[in-house]
């Protein structure tokens, strides 16, 4: 099942500057592992050593942050797309 993964500018050095990469996977985690196989080095930028999405990165399945779904176990429907988006956050 082809999944389209959108890559943010700071991470395109891992994708030969491509803004979108087609991967395979039935879940977000599987899709990201396939992304790592195609573009080595990206997984560590997205997830920490415990396999959780890093705080400064958001992974969206469609319009939803996967933290509010089933995390990396979030199932992907036919034609789904994933967006990797750097967080915009801060505070005093």
- Asked whether the beta carbons of 4 and 20 are under 8 A apart, the reply is yes
Q: Using the rule CB under 8 A, is 91 a contact of another protein? A: yes
Build a one-symbol-per-residue string for 10-49: x at contacts with another protein by CB under 8 A, - elsewhere: x---------------------------------------
Distance in angstroms (rounded) separating the CA atoms of residues 79 and 19 = 17
Q: Is 89 a binder of another protein (CB under 8 A)?
A: yes
Sign of the alpha-carbon dihedral angle for 61, 66, 69, 74: positive
Q: Which of 17, 49, 50, 55: binder of another protein (CB under 8 A)?
A: 55
The smaller minimum CB distance to another protein, of residues 15 and 24, is found at: 15
Binding-site member from 27, 58, 74, 80 for another protein (CB under 8 A): 58
All residues at 6 or more sequence positions from 7 whose CB lies less than 8 Å from its CB, including other chains: 14, 15, 18, 19, 20, 21, 42, 84
């Amino acid at each position: 099942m082809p999944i389209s993964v959108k890559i943010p500018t700071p991470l395109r050095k891992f994708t030969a500057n491509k803004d979108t990469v087609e991967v395979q996977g039935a879940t977000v985690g599987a899709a990201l592992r396939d992304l790592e196989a195609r573009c080595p080095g990206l997984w560590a930028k997205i997830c920490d050593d415990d396999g959780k999405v890093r705080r400064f990165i958001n992974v969206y399945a469609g319009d939803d942050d996967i933290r509010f779904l089933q995390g990396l176990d979030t199932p992907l429907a036919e034609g789904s797309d994933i967006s990797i988006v750097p967080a915009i956050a801060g505070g005093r």
